[in-house]
Structure 1
Amino acid sequence: MAIGTTKKPTVDGLNENHNRLNMHYISNAYGYTVYYSVGATAKEFNASTLASETPYATFNKTAYVSTAAAVTAVNHHAQETGLPVIDLGTGVQGTIDRGAGQAYLTWQAGRWSVTVHASPVMGQDPVAMSKQLVALFNQYSLPIPSQVGAGNFDVTDNGLNQTITWQEGAILYKISARSAETTIKMASSMSR
């Protein structure tokens, strides 16, 4: 597969260590996943030793049998009515759903839904992170999905749990990273 000729992020999303960036991929009949890691040294693209490095981000492209199937695969959340409204700055209003020790703050931006998860039982609150994300989204533009896109973020930085997913026709793109800022920067580079 000629991964260099396909649509992919054009920035690594890092603030440092660009000179030690490593990438490898795996593919199947439906698409591929690119793994981004920072090693002790930079290695050749898809070097066999890269599979043992812990990725800081992944980029996934998956082809579905139809546009409807790709839309269904996006974890898009409609903003519910009747929930408490939170002002997130610059005119953005989110709604917060709390219960069973969980809190989800959701807002809409065009074809996108953005949801931030937190666990109040663990002393977490999604509002501060949501305000930071609104500021980042004002700085970085996301790709325009054909129908829907979703940003799903977690207050806890626990693995590759900061995700941005969108569909273009029957193709689904997903970027996952340890950092919300990295995820947003990588996705934004695909909107150009």
Structure 2
Amino acid sequence: MAKNNTSGAGGDWIATSGDSIGTGPDRSRRQCVPIGRCGEGDAVVMKKDASRVASLLAGLLVVGLSACAEEGTSMPSAADVQRDAVQFLSRSEQVVNVPWKDIPEPILEQCDDGVRFVYSAVVTVDNDAKANAAELAMFWRSEGLSVSPSVTDFGSRGNTIYAATAHRDSGPRAAYQLSVISVAIEITSECAPGAVDDDDE
């Protein structure tokens, strides 16, 4: 619809119908609404004004999308999560004074956003399971993990199991299982891009 403006009582107006502006008996006057001041006969809404509005809205949309992208957090790399898990396993092993073996190869598990790496360190050795479990739980809490311990007594030597799981919002998760004849610590990395099948290629 073409829009023109006219002047009337109370200021300038914009015509809103498709008829011509006129005051004579054979000219129909369009319905008008007030606008800002314009010269008589000038077009009120120009194509270039519409283009400017469209450009402004597009710019605002781009800014908004960019801001949303900046607020998101990127997923850590597979190398980063493996490094963090191995370091956390090493520090956890230092808490329990037993002859640990070399860092084991990880088992890959699929997760919602990719793959995670599970490191399980197991030693068969006589030890004070109750004290070692308490030390591990204390250390993990000092690292910012929430620890959920449990004790299961099977009624015979070596069959009292001290276990726990530990997690936090970011970083590796942990678990332990100890008896008087064995110590096991499991560290699970964060999720990283990839798939379990990638390790076979």
Please, what TM-score do these two structures have when normalized by structure 2? 0.30
Larger gyration radius, structure 1 or structure 2: 2
Decide which structure has greater helix share.
2
Decide which structure has greater strand share.
1
